[in-house]
């Protein structure tokens, strides 16, 4: 969101960067664009865009369906020249596992869905590491001499 709470937090809490998460439908992309503008306005770098609920795969027959549209987040990333970090599926097990207090990466760490989340998380971690700041200039210089 881009309400007062989000704006205040982004101004008062130091942030390394933001990840924009959107679903692929047009109305959600409008909100994501507002989020991008807000973070740009307050000087928070955007690490990339993630598309949530990108595709549904029927657990019975395996048929896939883009219920909310296709590649909205990917297209927006290209439009803004930002990195597209990945697509998260729409899957009942994600909700069930999260509601039970054991998210997918904990309850099924070697599963396909956990792999998708881990790939996105790795990309975010790399982006954060790339933004690491060098604070060495803030420390006093240390001189070692042989005088005792």
pLDDT at 6: 78
Block residue for tokens 């070692």: 144
Average pLDDT of the residues in 15-22: 92
Using the Cα atoms of residue 116, residue 117, residue 119 and residue 123 in order, give the sign of their dihedral. positive
Average pLDDT of the residues in 14-31: 92
pLDDT at 112: 92
Structural contact between residues 9 and 38, judged by C-beta atoms closer than 8 angstroms = no
For residue range 33-48, list pLDDT tens digits in order: 999 999 999 888 999 9
The secondary structure of the chain, three-state, reads: CCCHHHHHHHHHCCCCCEEEEECCCHHHHHHHHHHHHHHHHCCCCEEEEEECCCCEECCCCCCEECCCCCCHHHHHHHHHCCCEEEECCECHHHHHHHHCCCCHHHHCCCCHHHHHHHHHHHHHHHHHHHCCCCCHHHCCCCCCCCCC
Distance of CA 146 to the CA centre of its chain: 52
How far apart, in whole angstroms, are the C-alpha atoms of residue 96 and residue 130?
Answer: 35
Per CATH, the homologous superfamily of domain 4-130 is P-loop containing nucleotide triphosphate hydrolases (3.40.50.300)
Domain borders along the chain are: 4-130
For residue range 73-100, list pLDDT tens digits in order: 999 999 999 999 999 999 999 999 999 9
Examine the pLDDT at 148 and tell me if it is beyond 80. Answer: no
135: confidence class by pLDDT, cuts 50, 70, 90: low
How far apart, in whole angstroms, are the C-alpha atoms of residue 2 and residue 8?
Answer: 10
């Amino acid at each position: 969101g881009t309400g007062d709470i989000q704006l205040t937090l982004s101004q008062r809490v130091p942030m390394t960067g933001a990840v924009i998460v959107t679903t692929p439908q047009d109305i959600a992309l409008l909100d994501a664009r507002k989020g991008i503008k807000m973070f740009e306005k307050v000087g928070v770098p955007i690490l990339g865009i993630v598309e949530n609920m990108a595709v549904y795969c029927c657990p019975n027959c395996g048929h896939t369906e883009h219920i909310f549209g296709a590649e909205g987040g990917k297209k927006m990333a290209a439009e803004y020249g930002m990195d597209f970090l990945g697509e998260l599926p729409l899957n009942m097990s994600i909700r069930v596992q999260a509601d039970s207090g054991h998210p997918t990466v904990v309850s099924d760490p070697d599963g396909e869905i956990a792999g998708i989340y881990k790939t996105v998380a790795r990309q975010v971690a790399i982006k954060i590491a790339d933004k690491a700041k060098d604070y060495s200039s803030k420390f006093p210089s240390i001189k070692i001499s042989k005088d005792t």
